[in-house]
Structure 1
Protein backbone atom coordinates (compact mmCIF):
# COMPACT_ATOMS: atom_id res chain seq x y z
CA UNK A 1 0.00 0.00 0.00
CA UNK A 2 2.91 2.33 0.77
CA UNK A 3 5.46 0.84 -1.63
CA UNK A 4 5.19 3.72 -4.09
CA UNK A 5 5.90 6.38 -1.46
CA UNK A 6 8.72 4.35 0.11
CA UNK A 7 10.34 3.77 -3.28
CA UNK A 8 10.32 7.50 -4.03
CA UNK A 9 12.16 8.16 -0.76
CA UNK A 10 14.76 5.41 -1.20
CA UNK A 11 15.25 5.69 -4.97
CA UNK A 12 17.84 8.54 -4.94
CA UNK A 13 20.08 6.83 -2.37
CA UNK A 14 19.81 3.45 -4.08
CA UNK A 15 20.63 5.05 -7.42
CA UNK A 16 23.83 6.60 -6.04
CA UNK A 17 24.96 3.28 -4.56
CA UNK A 18 23.97 1.37 -7.70
CA UNK A 19 26.03 3.78 -9.81
CA UNK A 20 29.07 3.11 -7.62
CA UNK A 21 28.60 -0.65 -7.96
CA UNK A 22 28.20 -0.41 -11.74
CA UNK A 23 31.63 1.21 -11.94
CA UNK A 24 33.07 -2.02 -10.51
CA UNK A 25 31.12 -4.12 -13.06
CA UNK A 26 29.02 -5.71 -10.33
CA UNK A 27 25.92 -7.33 -11.79
CA UNK A 28 22.39 -6.97 -10.41
CA UNK A 29 22.05 -10.77 -10.29
CA UNK A 30 25.06 -10.92 -7.98
CA UNK A 31 23.28 -8.61 -5.53
CA UNK A 32 20.16 -10.78 -5.82
CA UNK A 33 22.11 -13.92 -4.90
CA UNK A 34 23.89 -12.17 -2.03
CA UNK A 35 20.53 -10.94 -0.76
CA UNK A 36 19.11 -14.46 -0.83
CA UNK A 37 22.10 -15.79 1.11
CA UNK A 38 21.52 -13.07 3.72
CA UNK A 39 17.91 -14.22 3.84
CA UNK A 40 19.09 -17.74 4.61
CA UNK A 41 21.16 -16.30 7.46
CA UNK A 42 18.02 -14.57 8.73
CA UNK A 43 16.24 -17.94 8.63
CA UNK A 44 19.03 -19.58 10.65
CA UNK A 45 19.06 -16.93 13.36
CA UNK A 46 15.27 -16.94 13.64
CA UNK A 47 15.16 -20.72 14.02
CA UNK A 48 17.63 -20.40 16.87
CA UNK A 49 15.73 -17.57 18.57
CA UNK A 50 18.46 -15.01 17.91
CA UNK A 51 16.05 -12.27 16.93
CA UNK A 52 18.47 -9.33 17.02
CA UNK A 53 20.76 -10.98 14.47
CA UNK A 54 17.72 -12.11 12.48
CA UNK A 55 16.50 -8.50 12.33
CA UNK A 56 19.87 -7.33 11.01
CA UNK A 57 19.92 -9.91 8.24
CA UNK A 58 16.27 -9.24 7.45
CA UNK A 59 17.17 -5.61 6.85
CA UNK A 60 20.20 -6.56 4.73
CA UNK A 61 18.13 -8.96 2.66
CA UNK A 62 15.50 -6.33 1.92
CA UNK A 63 18.17 -3.72 1.23
CA UNK A 64 19.71 -5.97 -1.40
CA UNK A 65 16.26 -6.50 -2.90
CA UNK A 66 15.95 -2.77 -3.46
CA UNK A 67 19.54 -2.39 -4.60
CA UNK A 68 19.45 -5.09 -7.26
CA UNK A 69 16.44 -3.45 -8.86
CA UNK A 70 18.13 -0.05 -8.90
CA UNK A 71 21.27 -1.56 -10.40
CA UNK A 72 19.27 -3.43 -13.03
CA UNK A 73 17.47 -0.27 -14.11
CA UNK A 74 20.82 1.49 -14.39
CA UNK A 75 22.73 -1.08 -16.44
CA UNK A 76 19.76 -2.66 -18.20
CA UNK A 77 16.99 -4.96 -17.03
CA UNK A 78 16.93 -8.58 -18.18
CA UNK A 79 14.23 -11.24 -18.11
CA UNK A 80 16.47 -13.67 -16.23
CA UNK A 81 17.22 -10.98 -13.66
CA UNK A 82 13.52 -10.39 -13.08
CA UNK A 83 13.07 -14.17 -12.78
CA UNK A 84 15.82 -14.49 -10.16
CA UNK A 85 14.42 -11.52 -8.24
CA UNK A 86 10.88 -12.89 -8.08
CA UNK A 87 11.97 -16.42 -7.17
CA UNK A 88 14.33 -15.28 -4.41
CA UNK A 89 11.69 -12.94 -2.98
CA UNK A 90 8.98 -15.59 -2.90
CA UNK A 91 11.32 -18.17 -1.38
CA UNK A 92 12.35 -15.78 1.37
CA UNK A 93 8.74 -14.79 2.05
CA UNK A 94 8.08 -18.49 2.71
CA UNK A 95 11.29 -19.31 4.55
CA UNK A 96 10.95 -16.53 7.09
CA UNK A 97 7.54 -17.54 8.49
CA UNK A 98 8.48 -21.23 8.40
CA UNK A 99 11.45 -20.48 10.65
CA UNK A 100 9.00 -19.79 13.48
CA UNK A 101 7.56 -23.30 13.12
CA UNK A 102 11.06 -24.74 13.49
CA UNK A 103 11.47 -22.52 16.53
CA UNK A 104 8.22 -23.71 18.14
CA UNK A 105 5.77 -26.18 16.61
CA UNK A 106 2.92 -24.46 18.45
CA UNK A 107 3.21 -21.66 15.91
CA UNK A 108 2.25 -24.05 13.10
CA UNK A 109 -1.45 -23.18 12.78
CA UNK A 110 -1.04 -19.41 12.54
CA UNK A 111 2.02 -19.64 10.30
CA UNK A 112 0.29 -22.08 7.94
CA UNK A 113 -2.62 -19.65 7.69
CA UNK A 114 -0.15 -16.86 6.90
CA UNK A 115 1.65 -18.95 4.28
CA UNK A 116 -1.64 -19.85 2.59
CA UNK A 117 -2.52 -16.16 2.44
CA UNK A 118 0.90 -15.50 0.86
CA UNK A 119 0.17 -18.14 -1.78
CA UNK A 120 -3.14 -16.40 -2.51
CA UNK A 121 -1.56 -12.97 -2.97
CA UNK A 122 1.42 -14.30 -4.92
CA UNK A 123 -0.68 -16.32 -7.37
CA UNK A 124 -3.00 -13.39 -8.08
CA UNK A 125 0.08 -11.18 -8.41
CA UNK A 126 1.64 -13.40 -11.09
CA UNK A 127 -1.62 -14.40 -12.78
CA UNK A 128 -2.60 -10.75 -13.09
CA UNK A 129 0.73 -9.91 -14.70
CA UNK A 130 0.32 -12.75 -17.18
CA UNK A 131 -3.26 -11.85 -18.07
CA UNK A 132 -2.46 -8.20 -18.59
CA UNK A 133 0.54 -9.02 -20.79
CA UNK A 134 -1.51 -11.54 -22.75
CA UNK A 135 -4.22 -9.00 -23.44
CA UNK A 136 -1.73 -6.24 -24.27
CA UNK A 137 -3.26 -3.77 -21.84
CA UNK A 138 -1.64 -0.37 -21.50
CA UNK A 139 0.76 -0.01 -18.59
CA UNK A 140 1.26 3.45 -17.12
CA UNK A 141 4.77 4.82 -16.65
CA UNK A 142 4.56 4.74 -12.86
CA UNK A 143 4.02 0.97 -13.10
CA UNK A 144 6.83 0.34 -15.55
CA UNK A 145 8.65 -2.79 -14.38
CA UNK A 146 9.78 -6.04 -15.97
CA UNK A 147 6.17 -7.16 -15.64
CA UNK A 148 2.82 -5.61 -14.81
CA UNK A 149 2.35 -4.90 -11.11
CA UNK A 150 -0.94 -4.70 -9.22
CA UNK A 151 -0.76 -3.40 -5.68
CA UNK A 152 -2.91 -4.01 -2.64
CA UNK A 153 -3.11 -3.26 1.06
CA UNK A 154 -0.38 -5.84 1.74
CA UNK A 155 2.63 -5.14 -0.46
CA UNK A 156 6.36 -5.34 0.19
CA UNK A 157 6.57 -2.65 2.87
CA UNK A 158 3.66 -4.04 4.86
CA UNK A 159 5.05 -7.57 4.63
CA UNK A 160 8.44 -6.51 5.97
CA UNK A 161 6.72 -4.55 8.73
CA UNK A 162 4.87 -7.74 9.63
CA UNK A 163 8.15 -9.68 9.74
CA UNK A 164 9.74 -7.04 11.96
CA UNK A 165 6.78 -7.15 14.35
CA UNK A 166 7.06 -10.94 14.51
CA UNK A 167 10.66 -10.59 15.65
CA UNK A 168 10.12 -7.69 18.05
CA UNK A 169 6.93 -9.03 19.61
CA UNK A 170 7.40 -12.77 19.38
CA UNK A 171 4.98 -13.43 22.26
CA UNK A 172 2.19 -12.09 20.02
CA UNK A 173 3.33 -13.84 16.84
CA UNK A 174 0.12 -15.84 16.41
CA UNK A 175 -2.03 -12.71 16.57
CA UNK A 176 0.26 -10.93 14.12
CA UNK A 177 0.16 -13.85 11.68
CA UNK A 178 -3.64 -14.15 11.77
CA UNK A 179 -4.19 -10.40 11.39
CA UNK A 180 -1.74 -9.96 8.53
CA UNK A 181 -2.96 -13.14 6.86
CA UNK A 182 -6.49 -11.74 6.90
CA UNK A 183 -5.26 -8.51 5.30
CA UNK A 184 -3.58 -10.61 2.60
CA UNK A 185 -6.89 -12.29 1.83
CA UNK A 186 -8.46 -8.86 1.43
CA UNK A 187 -5.72 -8.02 -1.07
CA UNK A 188 -6.45 -11.29 -2.85
CA UNK A 189 -10.14 -10.43 -3.17
CA UNK A 190 -9.49 -6.88 -4.40
CA UNK A 191 -7.08 -8.17 -7.07
CA UNK A 192 -9.61 -10.71 -8.31
CA UNK A 193 -12.26 -8.00 -8.54
CA UNK A 194 -9.82 -5.63 -10.28
CA UNK A 195 -8.86 -8.19 -12.92
CA UNK A 196 -12.49 -9.14 -13.57
CA UNK A 197 -13.41 -5.51 -14.17
CA UNK A 198 -10.28 -4.89 -16.25
CA UNK A 199 -10.89 -7.83 -18.56
CA UNK A 200 -14.58 -7.06 -18.94
CA UNK A 201 -13.77 -3.51 -19.99
Structure 2
Protein backbone atom coordinates (compact mmCIF):
# COMPACT_ATOMS: atom_id res chain seq x y z
CA UNK A 1 0.00 0.00 0.00
CA UNK A 2 2.84 2.39 0.87
CA UNK A 3 5.45 1.15 -1.62
CA UNK A 4 4.50 3.47 -4.49
CA UNK A 5 4.51 6.52 -2.21
CA UNK A 6 7.84 5.77 -0.61
CA UNK A 7 9.75 4.48 -3.64
CA UNK A 8 10.49 7.88 -5.25
CA UNK A 9 11.88 9.21 -1.96
CA UNK A 10 13.99 6.11 -1.39
CA UNK A 11 15.28 6.24 -4.96
CA UNK A 12 16.57 9.77 -4.40
CA UNK A 13 18.74 8.44 -1.57
CA UNK A 14 19.80 5.20 -3.21
CA UNK A 15 20.51 6.32 -6.79
CA UNK A 16 23.81 8.12 -5.99
CA UNK A 17 25.03 5.02 -4.12
CA UNK A 18 23.93 2.81 -7.00
CA UNK A 19 25.96 4.82 -9.49
CA UNK A 20 29.09 4.34 -7.39
CA UNK A 21 28.40 0.62 -6.96
CA UNK A 22 27.84 0.20 -10.69
CA UNK A 23 31.00 2.19 -11.47
CA UNK A 24 32.94 -0.22 -9.25
CA UNK A 25 31.82 -3.07 -11.50
CA UNK A 26 29.38 -4.67 -9.07
CA UNK A 27 26.35 -6.18 -10.81
CA UNK A 28 22.74 -5.89 -9.70
CA UNK A 29 22.54 -9.67 -9.32
CA UNK A 30 25.50 -9.62 -6.93
CA UNK A 31 23.69 -7.02 -4.82
CA UNK A 32 20.53 -9.16 -4.89
CA UNK A 33 22.37 -12.25 -3.63
CA UNK A 34 24.17 -10.20 -0.97
CA UNK A 35 20.78 -8.95 0.20
CA UNK A 36 19.57 -12.53 0.67
CA UNK A 37 22.76 -13.48 2.55
CA UNK A 38 22.11 -10.58 4.92
CA UNK A 39 18.48 -11.67 5.26
CA UNK A 40 19.45 -15.24 6.12
CA UNK A 41 21.96 -13.90 8.65
CA UNK A 42 19.11 -11.84 10.12
CA UNK A 43 16.94 -14.95 10.42
CA UNK A 44 19.80 -16.83 12.10
CA UNK A 45 20.32 -13.97 14.56
CA UNK A 46 16.61 -13.92 15.38
CA UNK A 47 16.64 -17.69 15.87
CA UNK A 48 19.48 -17.18 18.36
CA UNK A 49 17.35 -14.51 20.08
CA UNK A 50 19.84 -11.78 19.11
CA UNK A 51 16.91 -9.61 18.06
CA UNK A 52 18.67 -6.25 17.72
CA UNK A 53 21.38 -7.80 15.56
CA UNK A 54 18.59 -9.40 13.55
CA UNK A 55 16.91 -6.02 13.16
CA UNK A 56 20.11 -4.40 11.89
CA UNK A 57 20.60 -7.22 9.39
CA UNK A 58 16.95 -7.06 8.25
CA UNK A 59 17.34 -3.33 7.52
CA UNK A 60 20.66 -3.91 5.73
CA UNK A 61 19.08 -6.67 3.65
CA UNK A 62 16.22 -4.41 2.55
CA UNK A 63 18.70 -1.64 1.72
CA UNK A 64 20.41 -4.06 -0.65
CA UNK A 65 16.99 -5.04 -2.01
CA UNK A 66 16.38 -1.44 -3.01
CA UNK A 67 19.93 -0.98 -4.21
CA UNK A 68 19.88 -3.87 -6.68
CA UNK A 69 17.10 -2.28 -8.72
CA UNK A 70 18.90 1.05 -8.74
CA UNK A 71 22.11 -0.62 -9.95
CA UNK A 72 20.10 -2.42 -12.64
CA UNK A 73 18.74 0.92 -13.87
CA UNK A 74 22.33 2.14 -14.26
CA UNK A 75 23.82 -0.98 -15.86
CA UNK A 76 20.71 -2.17 -17.68
CA UNK A 77 17.88 -4.40 -16.50
CA UNK A 78 17.69 -8.08 -17.44
CA UNK A 79 14.85 -10.56 -17.25
CA UNK A 80 16.98 -12.90 -15.16
CA UNK A 81 17.72 -10.07 -12.74
CA UNK A 82 14.01 -9.43 -12.26
CA UNK A 83 13.39 -13.15 -11.79
CA UNK A 84 16.23 -13.52 -9.27
CA UNK A 85 15.06 -10.48 -7.32
CA UNK A 86 11.54 -11.78 -6.76
CA UNK A 87 12.63 -15.35 -5.93
CA UNK A 88 15.17 -14.19 -3.34
CA UNK A 89 12.70 -11.67 -1.92
CA UNK A 90 10.29 -14.52 -1.21
CA UNK A 91 13.12 -16.50 0.38
CA UNK A 92 13.76 -13.55 2.70
CA UNK A 93 10.09 -13.16 3.58
CA UNK A 94 9.89 -16.82 4.57
CA UNK A 95 13.18 -16.85 6.47
CA UNK A 96 12.37 -14.11 8.98
CA UNK A 97 9.19 -15.71 10.40
CA UNK A 98 11.07 -19.03 10.48
CA UNK A 99 13.71 -17.32 12.60
CA UNK A 100 11.06 -16.32 15.15
CA UNK A 101 9.63 -19.86 15.13
CA UNK A 102 13.08 -21.30 15.89
CA UNK A 103 13.69 -18.68 18.58
CA UNK A 104 10.64 -19.77 20.58
CA UNK A 105 8.80 -22.74 19.03
CA UNK A 106 6.29 -23.04 21.85
CA UNK A 107 5.02 -19.47 21.48
CA UNK A 108 5.71 -18.82 17.80
CA UNK A 109 5.33 -22.07 15.86
CA UNK A 110 1.62 -21.82 15.04
CA UNK A 111 1.53 -18.02 14.46
CA UNK A 112 4.67 -18.32 12.32
CA UNK A 113 3.17 -21.16 10.28
CA UNK A 114 -0.02 -19.14 9.71
CA UNK A 115 2.02 -16.11 8.64
CA UNK A 116 4.16 -18.12 6.21
CA UNK A 117 1.00 -19.75 4.80
CA UNK A 118 -0.50 -16.29 4.24
CA UNK A 119 2.69 -15.21 2.44
CA UNK A 120 2.37 -18.30 0.23
CA UNK A 121 -1.24 -17.52 -0.70
CA UNK A 122 -0.60 -13.80 -1.18
CA UNK A 123 2.53 -14.48 -3.22
CA UNK A 124 0.67 -16.93 -5.44
CA UNK A 125 -2.07 -14.37 -6.12
CA UNK A 126 0.57 -11.76 -6.90
CA UNK A 127 2.67 -13.90 -9.25
CA UNK A 128 -0.32 -15.50 -10.98
CA UNK A 129 -1.74 -12.06 -11.69
CA UNK A 130 1.61 -10.95 -13.12
CA UNK A 131 1.46 -13.90 -15.56
CA UNK A 132 -2.11 -13.12 -16.57
CA UNK A 133 -1.29 -9.43 -16.92
CA UNK A 134 1.55 -10.26 -19.30
CA UNK A 135 -0.62 -12.67 -21.27
CA UNK A 136 -3.37 -10.06 -21.64
CA UNK A 137 -0.96 -7.18 -22.37
CA UNK A 138 -1.87 -5.33 -19.20
CA UNK A 139 1.82 -4.83 -18.44
CA UNK A 140 2.25 -2.52 -21.44
CA UNK A 141 -0.29 -0.12 -19.94
CA UNK A 142 1.57 0.17 -16.67
CA UNK A 143 4.68 2.36 -16.49
CA UNK A 144 6.91 0.67 -13.94
CA UNK A 145 10.57 0.30 -13.13
CA UNK A 146 9.90 -3.34 -12.28
CA UNK A 147 10.60 -6.25 -14.60
CA UNK A 148 6.97 -7.33 -14.65
CA UNK A 149 3.51 -6.09 -13.69
CA UNK A 150 3.22 -5.40 -9.95
CA UNK A 151 -0.33 -5.39 -8.62
CA UNK A 152 -0.63 -3.33 -5.47
CA UNK A 153 -2.32 -4.41 -2.25
CA UNK A 154 -2.74 -3.70 1.43
CA UNK A 155 0.23 -5.92 2.33
CA UNK A 156 3.37 -4.99 0.40
CA UNK A 157 7.09 -4.77 1.13
CA UNK A 158 6.88 -1.65 3.32
CA UNK A 159 4.17 -3.09 5.56
CA UNK A 160 5.98 -6.43 5.82
CA UNK A 161 9.19 -4.69 6.82
CA UNK A 162 7.33 -2.68 9.47
CA UNK A 163 5.99 -5.92 10.99
CA UNK A 164 9.46 -7.49 11.02
CA UNK A 165 10.94 -4.38 12.65
CA UNK A 166 8.26 -4.33 15.36
CA UNK A 167 8.74 -8.04 16.02
CA UNK A 168 12.49 -7.56 16.42
CA UNK A 169 11.98 -4.64 18.80
CA UNK A 170 9.30 -6.42 20.86
CA UNK A 171 9.73 -10.17 20.24
CA UNK A 172 6.91 -11.13 22.60
CA UNK A 173 4.51 -9.38 20.20
CA UNK A 174 5.38 -11.77 17.37
CA UNK A 175 2.32 -14.06 17.77
CA UNK A 176 -0.14 -11.15 17.71
CA UNK A 177 1.71 -9.42 14.86
CA UNK A 178 1.84 -12.67 12.88
CA UNK A 179 -1.90 -13.30 13.18
CA UNK A 180 -2.76 -9.68 12.39
CA UNK A 181 -0.50 -9.47 9.37
CA UNK A 182 -1.58 -12.88 8.14
CA UNK A 183 -5.17 -11.58 8.11
CA UNK A 184 -4.02 -8.55 6.11
CA UNK A 185 -2.19 -10.83 3.64
CA UNK A 186 -5.26 -13.02 3.20
CA UNK A 187 -7.38 -9.92 2.62
CA UNK A 188 -4.85 -8.67 0.05
CA UNK A 189 -4.94 -12.00 -1.78
CA UNK A 190 -8.73 -12.05 -1.77
CA UNK A 191 -8.94 -8.47 -3.06
CA UNK A 192 -6.47 -9.35 -5.82
CA UNK A 193 -8.57 -12.37 -6.81
CA UNK A 194 -11.69 -10.18 -6.98
CA UNK A 195 -9.82 -7.55 -9.03
CA UNK A 196 -8.53 -10.23 -11.42
CA UNK A 197 -12.01 -11.63 -11.84
CA UNK A 198 -13.32 -8.21 -12.78
CA UNK A 199 -10.48 -7.59 -15.23
CA UNK A 200 -10.25 -11.00 -16.85
CA UNK A 201 -13.41 -12.89 -15.92
Whether the 8 Å CA contact 2:51–2:169 is kept in 1: the answer is: yes
Which residue of structure 1 lines up, in the alignment, with residue 142 of structure 2? 140
Whether the 8 Å CA contact 1:162–1:176 is kept in 2: the answer is: yes
TM-score, with length taken from structure 1: 0.96
Uncovered stretches (5+) of structure 2, i.e. residues with no partner: none
Output the CA distance in 2 between the equivalents of 1:180 and 1:123: 17
Which residue of structure 2 lines up, in the alignment, with residue 48 of structure 1? 48
Q: Could you say what secondary structure the match of 2:77 adopts?
A: coil
Which residue of structure 1 lines up, in the alignment, with residue 157 of structure 2? 156
Uncovered stretches (5+) of structure 1, i.e. residues with no partner: none
Which residue of structure 1 lines up, in the alignment, with residue 197 of structure 2? 196
CA shift for structure 1 position 140: 2.1
Output the CA distance in 2 between the equivalents of 1:144 and 1:21: 19
TM-score, with length taken from structure 2: 0.96
Kindly tell me the number of residue pairs found equivalent between the two proteins: 199
Is 2:95 aligned against 1:99?
A: no
Which residue of structure 2 lines up, in the alignment, with residue 14 of structure 1? 14
Which residue of structure 1 lines up, in the alignment, with residue 130 of structure 2? 129
CA shift for structure 1 position 145: 1.8
Go from structure 1 to structure 2 and tell me whether the alpha carbon gap of 1:125 and 1:193 turns closer, same or farther (over 3 Å shift): same
Is 2:74 aligned against 1:74?
A: yes
Output the CA distance in 2 between the equivalents of 1:6 and 1:27: 24
- Measured against aligned partners, the alpha-carbon deviations of 1:123-154 in whole angstroms (never above 9, x if no partner) come to 0110000001011124322x342100001010
Output the CA distance in 2 between the equivalents of 1:75 and 1:198: 35
Whether the 8 Å CA contact 1:139–1:148 is kept in 2: the answer is: no
CA shift for structure 1 position 168: 1.0
CA shift for structure 1 position 87: 1.1
Output the CA distance in 2 between the equivalents of 1:174 and 1:7: 29
Output the CA distance in 2 between the equivalents of 1:197 and 1:70: 34
- Measured against aligned partners, the alpha-carbon deviations of 1:105-139 in whole angstroms (never above 9, x if no partner) come to 12111111101110111001100000010111243
Which of structure 1's runs of 4+ aligned residues deviate more than 6 A? none
